[in-house]
Amino acid sequence: MYAYDELDRTLINERVSEFRDQVKRRLSGELTEDEFKMLRLQNGVYLQLHAYMFRVAIPYGTLSSKQLRALAHVARRYDRGYGHFTTRQNIQFNWIKLAELPDALADLAEVGIHAMQTSGNNMRNVTSDQWAGVAPGEIEDPRIWSEILRQHTTLHPEFSFLPRKFKIAITASDHDRAAIKIHDIGLRLYRNAEGETGFEVLVGGGLGRTPFIAKTIKPFVSRRDILSYVEAILRVYNQYGRRDNIYKARIKILVHELGIEKFAKEVEEEWKHIRDSALTLEDSVIEEIRSRFSYPAYDKLPHMPDELKKAAHDPHFEAWRRNSVFTHNVQGYSIVTLSLKPVGGPPGDATADQMDAVADLADKYSFGEIRVGHEQNLVLPHVAKRDLPALWKALDRIGLATPNINLVSDIIACPGLDYCSLANARSIPIAQELTRRFANHDTANMIGRLHINISGCINACGHHHVGHIGILGVEKNGEEFYQITIGGRADENAQMGTLIGPAVPYVDVADVIEDIVEAYLALRARPDELFVDTVKRLGVEPFRERVYATR
């Protein structure tokens, strides 16, 4: 957990004062909407169908229990009692009033939470692995670097008006849980052949209308140089990224149009000038940031405590444990995922009551810390194994123990047309129906790991391109239709899915997904061949046949 000091808090408060003044000037008419829109976006305030939406930053997905309670407070006091966790580890409130936003921000500022740059053409949340700091085999905690980059890019005078938004993700594990290959800059922390820790830097990933997998621009940048190198990339982008067409303004387009070699050369040219400058990260500076991250004082605990042995006879507990509990890098502890995908529920939502309850559970069982994953679930990262049975009972009582993590009903979905003014079609009711169709845990377990991603429009906030099954809402003659893709992946083997055929109407989507799953079950080589591997082996044809035979 990173502890904000006086300086960090002062900055947040100064930002709140500034926004309060900006809102005042907007409501008095001194600022037109055209002048104000970008300012409110820079504080995470969107206009949606029914109301404003307020996107609060959860830097690299880490929250203290105190902070989670503050989010619950905002949900109650300023919204309709719930919030939605997003694919970038942030939280969104859907019914906020502009006039009350400065107060909401002031309340959040008291616990070191802000909404700086959660929208706008600037650096967004620098996301990371929700298991950062506790994942076995991790090189080092990537969040230290997320924080270094967060500070450097917050209210950066040169890069607050980029051609378009900019998203960075960092991973420090072999298995990429941060989806770095679909980000504008992806950073992979690793140890090179000489034993030095540094970064593989990838650039130009992104989804939306023109999806691209990020390309390696430099295979190794030292920790000392990473900040100046990122600055060089941003400066090249700020100057040469397209500004004539918002659909061609992301860095992925610039990289594509120049080619990665030419782009790399431009960056190298710029970097030569700033490589040894104030941006060089001396060890003492890195240590200063690292020292502000606190880690739990873990107890020395046994690998298999009695409490766990006793609880093993309970099939419901066991089903949950086998599904939602993951290995921790400290013996006797576990990483616990809390499913925000209950049967029939909107994926990724939590009520204020649930948030408060999770905060209490975090205090009791997780050293006061919670994580938010880009799959729109929560994590308690430091749970002693002996506490698992008690924790499970408590989670089950508040509806956060659905044992469906990584399974077919653990769906990632954008808010869609129910909320979002950019959407062509609804996504949440599709997700809800799918969780009902696949509510049976034995069936879901038999199907195995299967990621469904739903986006209500081509902006792809649901990351449908990289879903094992991707569902994209489109509009045809005023009706909602959905294109289905299969075989996408978001991890270290990232790739885009393949369209299986013509778009299908709203009422058919759940049936189509069931047909695809049935096809997989019939075609898989072995029970443990994952859906996405069956698709890789056989291609989309057998699935297409099955789905469109009677349609």
Partner 1 sequence: MTSPLEQKKIKIAGPSMVTANRTWDGVVIYRTDQQSWSADLSDAAIVRTSDEARALLTEAVADDVGAIGAYIAPVEVRDSGAIKPGNLRERIRSNGLTIDLLPA
Partner 2 sequence: MPLVKDGKIAADLFVHVPDGAELPGDGAILVPAARFLEDPQALLAHAGKLGVIWPNNRDIDDLVPYLDRLAAIALVFPSFRDGRAYSQARLLRERYAFEGELRATGQVLRDQFVFMLRAGFDAFEVKKDSDAAAFAATTKRYSVFYQPTGDGRVTALNRRMQLRHSESAGQ
Question: At closest approach, how far in Å is the CB of 56 from partner 2?
Answer: 20
Token pair of 451 as six digits: 């990621």
Q: Is residue 35 at the binding interface for partner 2, with CB under 8 A as the rule?
A: yes
- Select from partner 1, partner 2, none the partner in contact with residue 8, using the beta carbon and a kind-dependent cut-off of 5 to 8 Å: partner 2
Handedness of CA 459, 461, 466, 467 (dihedral sign): negative
Binding residues for partner 1 (CB under 8 A): 26-29, 32-33, 47-52, 82, 95-99, 342-346, 349, 399, 417-419, 421-426, 428-429, 432, 475, 478, 480
- Select from partner 2, partner 1, none the partner in contact with residue 154, using the beta carbon and a kind-dependent cut-off of 5 to 8 Å: partner 2
Render 404-453 in DSSP notation, one character per residue.
-TTSTT--EE--GGGT-TT-SS--HHHHHHHHHHT--HHHHHHH-S--EE
Q: Is residue 14 at the binding interface for partner 2, with CB under 8 A as the rule?
A: yes
Token pair of 480 as six digits: 């909602």
Residue given tokens 């083997």 in the structure block: 493
Query: Which one of residues 3, 5, 192, 331 is an interface residue with partner 2 (CB under 8 A)?
Result: 5
Token pair of 421 as six digits: 């003014």
- Select from partner 1, partner 2, none the partner in contact with residue 96, using the beta carbon and a kind-dependent cut-off of 5 to 8 Å: partner 1
- Select from partner 1, partner 2, none the partner in contact with residue 345, using the beta carbon and a kind-dependent cut-off of 5 to 8 Å: partner 1
Separation between Cα atoms, residue 164 and residue 243, nearest integer Å: 8
Residue 283 CB-density burial (10 A; 0-12 exposed, 13-18 middle, 19+ buried): exposed
- Select from partner 2, partner 1, none the partner in contact with residue 5, using the beta carbon and a kind-dependent cut-off of 5 to 8 Å: partner 2
Residue with smaller CB distance to partner 2, 20 or 76: 20
Question: At closest approach, how far in Å is the CB of 29 from partner 1?
Answer: 4
Question: At closest approach, how far in Å is the CB of 199 from partner 1?
Answer: 38
Question: At closest approach, how far in Å is the CB of 512 from partner 1?
Answer: 20
Query: Which one of residues 65, 119, 146, 154 is an interface residue with partner 2 (CB under 8 A)?
Result: 154
Closest CA relative to residue 356, chosen from 62, 61, 70: 70
Residue with smaller CB distance to partner 1, 320 or 419: 419
Residue 160 CB-density burial (10 A; 0-12 exposed, 13-18 middle, 19+ buried): middle
What count of other Cβ atoms lies within 10 Å of the Cβ of residue 331? 12
Residue 476 phi, psi dihedral angles, 5° rounding: -130, 115
Question: At closest approach, how far in Å is the CB of 214 from partner 2?
Answer: 23
Q: Is residue 437 at the binding interface for partner 2, with CB under 8 A as the rule?
A: no
Query: Which one of residues 3, 27, 30, 522 is an interface residue with partner 2 (CB under 8 A)?
Result: 30
Helix, coil or strand: residue 485: strand
Q: Which of residues 223-262 bind partner 2 (CB under 8 A)?
A: 235, 238-239, 243
Pattern of binders to partner 2 over 257-286, x per CB under 8 A? Answer: ----------------x----xx----xx-
What count of other Cβ atoms lies within 10 Å of the Cβ of residue 370? 25
First to last CA, the chain: 53
Number of C-alpha atoms within 13 angstroms, CB side, residue 403? Answer: 20
Question: At closest approach, how far in Å is the CB of 262 from partner 2?
Answer: 16
Residue 172 phi, psi dihedral angles, 5° rounding: -130, 20
Residue given tokens 């299986």 in the structure block: 500
Residue with smaller CB distance to partner 2, 11 or 51: 11
Strand partners, 189: 199
Question: At closest approach, how far in Å is the CB of 135 from partner 1?
Answer: 30
Residue 45 CB-density burial (10 A; 0-12 exposed, 13-18 middle, 19+ buried): buried
Q: Is residue 18 at the binding interface for partner 2, with CB under 8 A as the rule?
A: yes
Handedness of CA 505, 94, 467, 424 (dihedral sign): positive
Closest CA relative to residue 442, chosen from 412, 410, 404: 404
DSSP one-letter code for 510? H
- Select from partner 2, partner 1, none the partner in contact with residue 197, using the beta carbon and a kind-dependent cut-off of 5 to 8 Å: none
Interface segment toward partner 2; rule CB under 8 A; list 9-17, 372-380, 405-413, 428-436: 9-17
Residue with smaller CB distance to partner 2, 273 or 551: 273
Strand partners, 389: none
Separation between Cα atoms, residue 494 and residue 176, nearest integer Å: 9
Residue with smaller CB distance to partner 2, 155 or 523: 155
Question: At closest approach, how far in Å is the CB of 398 from partner 1?
Answer: 12
- Select from partner 1, partner 2, none the partner in contact with residue 418, using the beta carbon and a kind-dependent cut-off of 5 to 8 Å: partner 1
- Select from partner 1, partner 2, none the partner in contact with residue 521, using the beta carbon and a kind-dependent cut-off of 5 to 8 Å: none
Binding footprint of partner 2 on the chain (CB under 8 A): 5, 7-8, 10-11, 14, 17-18, 22, 30, 35, 38-39, 121, 151-162, 235, 238-239, 243, 273, 278-279, 284-285, 288
